[in-house]
Amino acid sequence: MWEVFTEGRVPFEQNQNHEVVVMVTKGHRLYRPKLAPPAIYDIMQLSWREVSPLTLSCRRSGPDLRSLLQRPDERPPFSQLSHMISDALEADAPN
């Protein structure tokens, strides 16, 4: 997703692979691309967590997401997708 909003830039392009491993392990994450709205960057950051609630939600909702992608004429607007993601995250959040 980051690559899309940077128009094809390579993540951590100035670093060697072993440096990236150390940086990510220490919590360093990629910057918000200028073209990415804050809400999209929030989703990126969630997906970059070691244990991501998005991963858990996507496993559960994967078939639903796949059907949305296969029928583009029936896709909901972004605002509705945002609510769907928020609801899935809340459902997976620890009590």
pLDDT at 35 over 80: yes
- Digit-coded pLDDT (tens) for 53-95: 555 555 555 555 566 566 767 666 777 767 777 776 666 666 5
Q: Are residues 55 and 22 in the same domain?
A: no
The verdict on residue 42 lying in a domain is no
Averaged pLDDT for residues 39-59: 72
Q: Is residue 63 part of a domain?
A: yes
For residues 91 and 56, state if they share a domain. yes
Do 28 and 63 fall within a single domain? no
- Residue 30 structural domain: 1-37
Q: Indicate if 55 and 31 belong to the same structural domain.
A: no
pLDDT of residue 43: 84
| pLDDT score, position 39 | 85
Which residue, 47, 17, 42, is CA-closest to 32?
42
Question: How many structural domains comprise the chain?
Answer: 2
Sequence-distant (6+) residues with CB within 8 A of 91 are: 57
Question: Looking at the structure, do residues 32 and 3 belong to the same domain, yes or no?
Answer: yes
